[in-house]
């Protein structure tokens, strides 16, 4: 009996406690250096990884989602956004086709001017006679401060940028935070907040360039948008103030349709660049289904949910590859959740004005699955 007890005691020393279980994995955040700007500012990189192996790389330059790896129907991981690597040109001019945050006002402001509380403000002209995406030094071209944050069941990071009073012509000192959280459900959630010391317009969005196949084109990827209407624009893509039905137009995605199916009806650009008015009740700011995209080859599905009233669909030119093309193209589509373009000059549009004592809040979720 004593020898048996001794053997059990020795076994417990080797194997550990009889009821011990292996530690379960947890969402993780890894902090590293991405690169340095030409003037020596360190740009950090935060890699968010969930327990299923999906991951997102977020860099402090532009609050950019530099990579977003999610599985296809066979479990193969690949990045569904354009991957961003450090480069001197990127740091100097901004990283092209990146999942950056644009602000202080994303999209367009007609004539690069607006009137607020009786005072006219002139902002940077960087789109012909107009203003777009926050100006020359917009939020996608500055280095944010960042630190890991704690959200149950998610790997997350919070970034902060303080925009000075008068930056790009906008009034008020604006403090903005963006939190990216990658959950175990393969959802990348983006929470925006902002406060100001003077009345100012604000319209923040992430400009991720998606391709659910992670290569080739997006012509066959199917899209649905929860919008029966859109904002009518002129030749400069400036809203007229009219809101009309999409029915009968090539921009009707109320039912699933391949993105490239109607490219030949989009004029010389052969691309979408349209703001859709989401089917939302007036005054409702809850998280609402905005759009769904599906790639039939990989089985990847993206659903976009947002508290915003609109979404801008922007795509690569929707033309078939030519025999002369030597390398596969990387087509894309963007679903930029937002307030409507030029809202500051259209009182009938949902307001983009933030005032002292208020907190701007906006949430968008990119929900991934595969089947």
Going by pLDDT thresholds of 50, 70 and 90, the confidence category of residue 2 is: very low
Q: How far apart are CA 195 and CA 183, in angstroms?
A: 27
Distance of CA 47 to the CA centre of its chain: 16
> What's the whole-number mean pLDDT along residues 81-88?
94
| Per-residue pLDDT, 167 | 98
- Residue 207 falls in the annotated catalytic set: yes
240: alpha, beta or left, given left = phi > 0 and alpha = psi -120 to 50?
A: alpha
pLDDT band at 11 (very low <50, low <70, confident <90, very high): very low
Distances (CA, A) of 261 to 31, 252, 270, 272: 42, 11, 11, 12
Share of the chain above pLDDT 70, in %: 92
Residue 348 has pLDDT above 80, yes or no: yes
What average pLDDT score do residues 266-291 get?
94
* Residue 341, pLDDT score: 98
User: pLDDT for 126-162, tens place per residue?
Assistant: 999 999 999 999 999 999 999 999 888 899 999 999 9
pLDDT at 260 over 70: yes
CA end-to-end span of the chain: 58
The full set of domain ranges for the chain reads 28-370
Closest CA to 242 of 126, 346, 110: 346
**Residues 30-39: tens digit of each pLDDT:** 999 999 999 9
178, 190, 214: which is closest to 295 by C-alpha?
214
Average the pLDDT over 299-328 and give the result: 89
Q: 81 - beta bridge partners? A: 210
Give the contacts of 297 (CB within 8 A, at least 6 positions apart).
Answer: 213, 220
As beta bridge partners, residue 245 has: 229
Among 168, 336, 339, 365, which one carries the catalytic annotation?
336
pLDDT at 271: 96
More confident residue, 198 or 15: 198
Predicted local confidence at residue 94, as pLDDT: 93
Does the structure show a pLDDT above 90 at 319? no
pLDDT at 216: 86
* Nearest alpha-carbon partner for 232 in 138, 348, 352, 333: 348
Q: Is the pLDDT of residue 21 over 60?
A: no
In the prediction, which pLDDT does 151 show? 84
pLDDT at 190 over 60: yes
Name the average pLDDT for the chain: 92
Show the tokens assigned to 41: 């500012």
What average pLDDT does the segment 77-81 reach?
97
Model confidence band, residue 64 (pLDDT cutoffs 50, 70, 90)? very high
Rounded Cα distance between 35 and 59, Å, is 10
| pLDDT for res 326 | 66
Which residues, listed in sequence order, are joined to residue 230 by a DSSP beta bridge?
244, 276
Q: Residue 200: what are its φ and ψ, rounded to 5°? A: -155, 150
Is 303 catalytic? The answer is no
pLDDT in tens, 207-255: 999 999 998 899 999 999 999 999 999 999 999 999 999 999 999 999 9
- Catalytic option among 207, 222, 274, 365: 207
Q: Which option is the CATH number for 28-370: 2.40.50.140, 3.100.10.20, 2.40.40.20, 2.70.98.10?
A: 2.70.98.10
């Amino acid at each position: 009996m004593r020898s048996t007890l001794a053997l059990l005691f020795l076994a417990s020393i080797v194997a550990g406690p009889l009821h011990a279980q292996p530690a379960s994995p947890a969402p993780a955040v890894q902090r590293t250096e991405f690169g340095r700007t030409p003037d020596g500012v360190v740009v950090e990189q935060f890699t968010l990884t969930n327990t299923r192996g999906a991951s997102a790389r977020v860099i402090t330059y532009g609050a950019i989602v530099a990579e977003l790896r999610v599985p296809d129907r066979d479990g193969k991981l690949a990045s569904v956004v354009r991957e961003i690597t450090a480069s001197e040109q990127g740091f100097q001019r901004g990283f092209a086709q990146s999942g950056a945050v644009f602000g202080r006002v994303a999209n367009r402001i007609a004539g690069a001017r607006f009137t607020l509380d009786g005072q006219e403000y002139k902002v940077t002209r960087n789109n012909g006679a107009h203003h777009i995406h926050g100006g020359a030094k917009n939020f996608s071209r500055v280095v944010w401060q960042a630190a890991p944050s704690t959200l149950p069941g998610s790997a997350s990071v919070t970034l902060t940028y303080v925009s000075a009073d008068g930056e790009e012509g906008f009034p008020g000192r604006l403090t903005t935070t963006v939190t990216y959280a990658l959950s175990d459900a393969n959802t990348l959630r983006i929470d925006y907040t902002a406060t100001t010391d003077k009345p100012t317009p604000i319209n923040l969005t992430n400009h991720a360039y998606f391709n659910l196949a992670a290569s080739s084109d997006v012509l066959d990827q199917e899209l649905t948008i929860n919008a029966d209407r859109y904002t009518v624009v002129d030749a400069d893509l400036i809203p007229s103030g009219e809101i009309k039905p999409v029915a009968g137009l090539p921009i009707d995605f109320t039912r699933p349709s391949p993105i490239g199916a109607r490219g030949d009806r989009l004029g010389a650009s052969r691309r979408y660049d349209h703001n859709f008015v989401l089917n939302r009740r007036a005054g409702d700011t809850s998280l609402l289904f905005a759009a769904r995209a599906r790639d039939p080859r990989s089985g990847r599905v993206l659903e976009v949910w947002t508290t915003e009233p609109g979404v801008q669909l922007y795509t690569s030119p929707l033309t078939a590859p030519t025999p002369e093309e030597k390398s596969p193209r990387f087509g894309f589509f963007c679903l930029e959740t937002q307030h409507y373009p030029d809202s500051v000059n259209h009182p009938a549009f949902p307001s983009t004005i933030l005032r002292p004592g208020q907190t701007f809040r906006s949430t968008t979720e990119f929900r991934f699955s595969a089947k």
